[in-house]
């Protein structure tokens, strides 16, 4: 018996012409997508930049807080004055706080590295655009005595591009330093008032 095989249906009949249509974006869809991406970039990049600056300043202030804690503990352990001073060369008290700082044993408490005095730690300069400044009480140095007491009270402030609104501060009282909480506003000094500027807190 002859069996007549039914011809196979064409692919276009089985799946429909849509299976072979070229899928893609229309011009309107593409323009809408580009507009959304542009809005996200305009809104997102400044926020990302601010977050990166705040993160960098937080790292710097934590490092300086660690420096203060080191000086205080070494002063108590050694029973001698330990001084932190600004240093642009890593060997003496020169330059600005932004140029770097050193920690050294300062038996005569004169705030200067004299012959025979031991330098304990050397810290490098801050990145370009970032700054560290102190009020007049710590223009050149801060020292801790054998009881762990600071030689004065005052404020250190870290800034990026002289922007007080993103600044971070450390309040120095006689007993212990304190990192002022990040309120996303102009930070406070040791007396609770706002800093005057990044250059002269």
For 182, other C-beta atoms within 10 Å of its C-beta total: 15
Residues forming a β-bridge with 179: 170
pLDDT at 20 (0 to 100): 46
11 is a domain residue: no
Determine the pLDDT at residue 139. 94
Question: Would you state the structure tokens that stand for residue 55, as one six-digit string?
Answer: 């993160």
More confident residue, 147 or 1: 147
Task: Report the pLDDT averaged over residues 18-39.
Answer: 70
Q: What is the pLDDT of residue 165?
A: 84
What is the CATH number for 155? 3.55.40.10
Least confident segment among 48-52, 74-78, 104-108, 177-181: 48-52
DSSP-based three-state secondary structure for 66: helix
Q: Picking from 24-38, 96-110, 124-138, 150-164, which range would have the lowest pLDDT averaged per residue?
A: 24-38
**Is 158 part of a structural domain of the chain?**
yes
Does some domain include residue 149? yes
In a domain, 184, yes or no: no
User: Which position has the token pair 């020169």?
Assistant: 94
Quick check: is 200 in a domain? no
Inter-residue contact 130 to 157 (CB < 8 Å): no
d(CA 53, CA 51): 5
Domain count, the chain: 1
Give the whole-number percent of the chain exceeding pLDDT 90.
58
Write out the residue range of the structural domain in which residue 115 sits.
Answer: 25-179
* Rg over CA atoms, the chain: 31
Phi, psi of 119 (to 5 degrees): -90, 120
**Per-residue burial over 145-164, b = 16 or more CB atoms within 10 Å of its CB, e = otherwise:** beebbbbbebbbbbbbeeeb
pTM (2 decimals)? Answer: 0.75
Question: How far out from the chain centre does Cα 149 lie?
Answer: 27
pLDDT exceeds cutoff 90 at 183: no
Q: Which burial class, exposed, middle or buried, applies to 84 when counting CB atoms under 10 A from its CB (0-12, 13-18, 19+)?
A: buried
Residue 15 has pLDDT above 80, yes or no: no
Per-residue pLDDT, 125: 97
pLDDT at 193 over 90: no
Distance (Å, whole) CA 121 – CA 103: 5
Tens digits of per-residue pLDDT, 151-176? 999 999 999 999 988 899 999 999 98
Query: Quick check: is 34 in a domain?
Result: yes
The whole-number average pLDDT for the span 77-81 is: 97
Tell me which residue has tokens 């990302």: 48
Residue 102, pLDDT score: 98
Residue 36 lies in a domain: yes
What's the pLDDT score for residue 12?
Answer: 47
Kindly state whether residue 4 falls inside one of the protein's structural domains.
no
């Amino acid at each position: 018996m002859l069996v007549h095989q039914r011809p196979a249906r064409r692919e276009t009949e089985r799946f429909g012409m849509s299976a072979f249509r070229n899928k893609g974006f229309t011009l309107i869809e593409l323009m809408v997508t580009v507009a959304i991406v542009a809005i996200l970039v305009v809104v997102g990049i400044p926020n990302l930049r601010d977050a990166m600056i705040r993160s960098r300043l937080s790292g710097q202030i934590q490092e300086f807080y660690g420096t203060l804690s080191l000086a205080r503990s070494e002063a108590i352990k050694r029973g001698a004055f330990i001084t932190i001073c600004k240093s642009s060369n890593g060997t003496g008290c020169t330059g600005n706080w932004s140029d770097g700082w050193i920690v050294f044993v300062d038996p005569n408490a004169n705030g200067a590295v004299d012959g025979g005095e031991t330098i304990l730690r050397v810290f490098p300069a801050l990145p370009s655009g970032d700054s560290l400044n102190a009020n007049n009480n710590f223009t050149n140095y801060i020292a801790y005595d054998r009881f762990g007491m600071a030689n004065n009270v005052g404020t250190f402030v870290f800034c990026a591009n002289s922007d007080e609104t993103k600044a971070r501060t450390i309040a120095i009282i006689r007993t212990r330093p304190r990192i002022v909480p990040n309120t996303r506003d102009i930070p406070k000094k040791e007396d609770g008032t706002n800093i005057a500027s990044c250059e002269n807190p």
